[in-house]
Amino acid sequence: MAKTLITNGTVVTATETMHADVVIEDERVVALVQSGAMDVVADTVIDAAGKYVMPGGIDVHTHMELPFGGTFAADTFETGTRAAAWGGTTTIVDFAVQVKGESAMEGYEKWMAKADGNCAIDYGF
């Protein structure tokens, strides 16, 4: 079980901002405590002094590889999700194209095949 400690940061939640430590186990936040209040042994320690610690953003309106007017959107699932990650976005919800005569499930499966193994962040449709 990998454990990470982000310490000394200014943590921003949906309801407040506080000086706190964040404990992460296997990519999941398991504790948010006042800085120094908990003795944590971690595999990785990140000193966030002078920095904000915030949850990743969710972009619910993306168009990766979208065909339009004989062209395609500039971003592939790989390039678009890498760019999103650099900007702090950790999840996208993409538009799954359903072409005329195709079922919604067929459109979904086609888009899932494009994204599978090519995304740097979480995704949905």
Do 40 and 64 lie in one domain? The reply is no
User: Is residue 118 within 8 Å of 78, Cβ to Cβ?
Assistant: yes
Position 27 scores a pLDDT of 86
Do 10 and 45 lie in one domain? The reply is yes
What is the domain extent for residue 13? Answer: 3-53
Q: Determine the distance from the C-alpha atom of residue 38 to the mean position of all C-alpha atoms in its chain, rounded to a whole number.
A: 27
Do 73 and 115 lie in one domain? The reply is yes
Residues 61-91: pLDDT tens digits? 999 999 988 999 999 999 999 999 999 999 9
Do 47 and 63 lie in one domain? The reply is no
- What confidence category does residue 120 fall into, taking pLDDT thresholds of 50, 70 and 90? very high
Q: Is the pLDDT of residue 1 over 80?
A: no
Tracing tokens 């065909």 back to the chain, one arrives at 67
pTM, full prediction? 0.77
Q: Best-predicted range by mean pLDDT among 69-78, 95-104, 111-120?
A: 111-120
100 phi, psi to nearest 5 deg: -55, 130
Residues 43-52: pLDDT tens digits? 999 999 999 9
